Amino acid sequence: MKAARVDTNQPAIVGALRAYGATVQHLHKVGDGCPDLLVGYMGKDGIRRNFLLEVKDGGKPPSKRNLTPQQKVWHASWRGTVDVVKNIEDALKVIGVK
């Protein structure tokens, strides 16, 4: 298994999610194409939801933000939702804050 790498923008995204009251569990060390973050958030409607986020560095060229082959397989086989986020705004939109 390849060593887990964290995109440079991941700490800022995690910080912003937590600032809005989300709980965040890092999953990047799981490997095998698993997304980077598991996020729990209770929206204004009072309903708790879980989100899987794959973080890609929006500052890199598009060719460097592609999913790896393992990530493509994982995303295609997962029967739930997983979102790719490139920045704080993307992540906050996914959880319904922005």
pLDDT band at 2 (very low <50, low <70, confident <90, very high): low
Provide DSSP, 41-88.
EE-TTS-EEEEEEEE--TTS-GGGSSPPHHHHHHHHH-SS--EEE-SH
Strand partners, 85: 55
What is the distance, to the nearest Å, from the Cα of residue 3 to the centroid of all Cα atoms in its chain? Answer: 18
Q: What does the domain layout of the chain look like in residue ranges?
A: 10-95
Say if CB 97 and CB 20 are below 8 A apart: yes
- pLDDT at position 64, please? 86
Q: The tokens of 8 are what?
A: 């440079």
Query: Is 80 exceeded by the pLDDT of residue 5?
Result: no
- According to the CATH classification, is domain 10-95 in 3.40.1350.10? yes
At 19-47, the pLDDT tens digits run 999 999 999 899 999 999 999 999 989 99
At 36-75, the pLDDT tens digits run 999 999 998 999 999 999 999 988 888 889 999 999 999 9
Say if CB 37 and CB 27 are below 8 A apart: yes
At 9-18, the pLDDT tens digits run 999 999 999 9
Taking the model in full, what pTM does it have? 0.92
Integer Cα distance of 18 and 13 in angstroms: 9
Query: Is 90 exceeded by the pLDDT of residue 90?
Result: yes
